[in-house]
């Protein structure tokens, strides 16, 4: 990883301490299964759980969560539900990202041979600015019936994410970076983002660089996704296109998402769903969170453990084809997990 995120602080006596934020909906059960697989795999990771969820509006709990991530440096996270209709209730997911300075979100989607989808051989990395843009949380009613919402784009944050994306592309053998924007309409804000990305591209002549307007990019992604390699995105477009990219490669249950800042790293599912309506029914697809667990192990440098679990996941979905209902299958969550455990035990 190009991220300078420290992992030394999470290590005590050969074991690592990682913060777990189970969140709402399916988060707790999915993180529970990650722990189970780690246990069977003999993975030297212990978890410090903080139950930050929508059941308690506790400011202290948010502080506790932030302190725990700062102490351990690394976290795995379920989504925390945000009440839509309460303007005073800010998203604690957004708050966490801001407070921890997690400026980069990376979602890598790849076609899975065992999962039937319209397109094959998709391999796209979406690198998203994770802390500004439309997520400034600066909204107000100026006069009754008129709402203003600030989209904030800065040179500093645009340079930061552009640098991060080009470095990532270079260090991971990628060929092309595509900046996604709407600079033809948002001339100043997206214009700044595009111009900083274009400027940064000049420092990476070994990488091809181009740009595309968000609306066209959406259409191209569903029609001909194989033309894309690395997408470099501002915050809201990034949110939407990561979901689209997950959608064309198997849905919300497959890809993981990584959040990096200068000091901390937080691992979660790519689409960041709460999955409230499917919680507790033994039907949620556990793979996306399991992949987040694999990401976490790579991040900690526990490469052997990461590979064993990654192979077990691959065997389960692509060879044994144990699929939960979201993939059109009949398997339960626990059947999928048990199969992963069985594969992991062969190598533990």
Least distance (Å) from ligand ADP to the CB of residue 313?
Answer: 14
Among 301, 291, 331, 284, smallest CA distance to 112 is for: 291
Contact pattern from residue 7 through residue 26 relative to ligand ADP, giving x for each residue in contact according to CB under 6 A and a dash for the rest: ------------------xx
* 276 binds ligand ADP, rule: CB under 6 A: yes
Give the span between the Cα atoms of 312 and 343, in whole angstroms.
5
Phi, psi (degrees; rounded to nearest 5) at 39? -60, -50
Closest separation in Å from C-beta 272 to ligand ADP: 7
Q: What's the CA gap between 241 and 215, in Å, rounded? A: 10
Contact between 284 and ligand ADP per CB under 6 A:
yes
The residues, ordered by sequence, that sit 6+ positions from 90 with a Cβ below 8 Å of its Cβ are 82, 137
Q: Which of 23, 133, 225, 275 binds ligand ADP (CB under 6 A)?
A: 275
Segment near ligand ADP (CB under 6 A), from 46-54, 66-74, 201-209, 274-282? Answer: 274-282
Among 52, 109, 194, 278, interactor with ligand ADP by CB under 6 A: 278
Stretch that binds ligand ADP, among 14-22, 104-112, 165-173, 283-291 (CB under 6 A): 283-291
Binding-residue pattern over the window 234 to 273 for ligand ADP, x denoting contact by CB under 6 A: ------------------xx-------------------x
The yes or no reply on residue 74 touching ligand ADP (CB under 6 A) is: no
- CA dist 66 and 339 (Å) reads 34
Per CB under 6 A, the list member of 3, 79, 178, 242 interacting with ligand ADP is 79
Tokens of 115: 């999962």
Q: Which residue's CB is nearer to ligand ADP, number 30 or number 62?
A: 30
Stretch that binds ligand ADP, among 136-144, 210-218, 276-284, 295-303 (CB under 6 A): 276-284
Identify which of residues 68 and 278 has a Cβ nearer to ligand ADP in the complex: 278
Residue (of 278, 309, 317) closest to 293 by Cα position: 309
Chain positions 302 to 331 lying near ligand ADP, rule: CB under 6 A, are: 326
Question: Which class for 141: exposed (0-12), middle (13-18), buried (19 or more C-beta within 10 A)?
Answer: exposed
User: Rounded distance, CA 256 to CA 246, Å?
Assistant: 9
Region binding ligand ADP by CB under 6 A among candidate stretches 6-14, 61-69, 176-184, 284-292: 284-292
Applying CB under 6 A, which of residues 34, 45, 288, 344 lies at the interface with ligand ADP? Answer: 288
Binding mask 108-147 for ligand ADP (x = CB under 6 A): ----------------------------------------
Q: Which is nearer to ligand ADP, 79 or 249 (CB)?
A: 79
Minimum distance between the CB of residue 86 and ligand ADP, rounded to whole angstroms? 15
Measured at the alpha carbon of residue 154, what is the angle toward residues 148 and 159, in degrees to the nearest 5? 150
Residue 277 in contact with ligand ADP, rule: CB under 6 A: yes
- Out of 274, 291, 316, 339, name the contact with ligand ADP by CB under 6 A: 274
Residue 93 touching ligand ADP (CB under 6 A) = no
- Residues at the site binding ligand ADP, with contacts judged by CB under 6 A: 25-26, 79, 252-253, 273-278, 284-285, 288, 326
């Amino acid at each position: 990883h190009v991220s300078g995120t420290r992992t030394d602080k999470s290590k005590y006596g050969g074991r690592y301490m990682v913060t777990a934020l189970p969140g709402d909906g399916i988060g707790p059960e999915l993180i529970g299964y990650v722990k189970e697989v780690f246990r069977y795999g003999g993975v030297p990771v212990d978890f410090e759980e903080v139950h930050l969820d929508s059941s308690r509006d506790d400011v202290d709990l948010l502080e506790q969560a932030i302190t725990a991530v700062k102490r351990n440096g690394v976290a795995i996270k379920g989504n925390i539900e945000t009440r839509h209709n309460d303007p005073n209730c800010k998203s604690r997911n957004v708050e966490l990202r801001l407070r921890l300075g997690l400026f980069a979100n990376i979602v890598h989607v790849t076609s899975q041979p065992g999962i039937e989808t319209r397109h094959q051989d998709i391999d796209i990395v979406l690198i998203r600015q994770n802390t500004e843009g439309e997520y400034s949380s600066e909204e107000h009613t100026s006069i009754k019936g008129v709402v203003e919402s600030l989209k904030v784009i800065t040179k500093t944050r645009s340079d930061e994410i552009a640098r991060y994306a080009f470095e990532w592309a270079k260090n991971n053998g990628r060929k092309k970076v595509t900046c996604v924007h709407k600079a033809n309409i948002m001339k100043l804000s997206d214009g700044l983002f595009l111009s900083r990305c274009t400027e940064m591209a000049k420092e990476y002549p070994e990488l091809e660089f181009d740009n595309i307007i968000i609306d066209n990019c959406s259409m191209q992604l569903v029609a001909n996704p194989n033309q894309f390699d690395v997408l470099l995105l501002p915050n809201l477009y990034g949110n939407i296109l990561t979901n689209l990219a997950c959608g064309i490669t198997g849905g919300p249950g497959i890809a993981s998402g990584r959040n990096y800042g200068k000091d901390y790293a937080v691992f979660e599912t790519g689409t960041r769903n709460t999955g409230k309506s499917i919680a507790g029914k033994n039907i949620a697809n556990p793979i996306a969170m399991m992949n987040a667990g694999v990401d976490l192990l790579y991040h900690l440098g526990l490469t052997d453990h990461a590979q064993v679990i990654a192979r077990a996941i691959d065997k389960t979905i692509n060879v044994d084809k144990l699929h939960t209902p979201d993939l059109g299958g009949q398997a339960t969550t626990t059947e999928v997990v048990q199969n992963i455990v069985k594969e992991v035990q062969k190598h533990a």
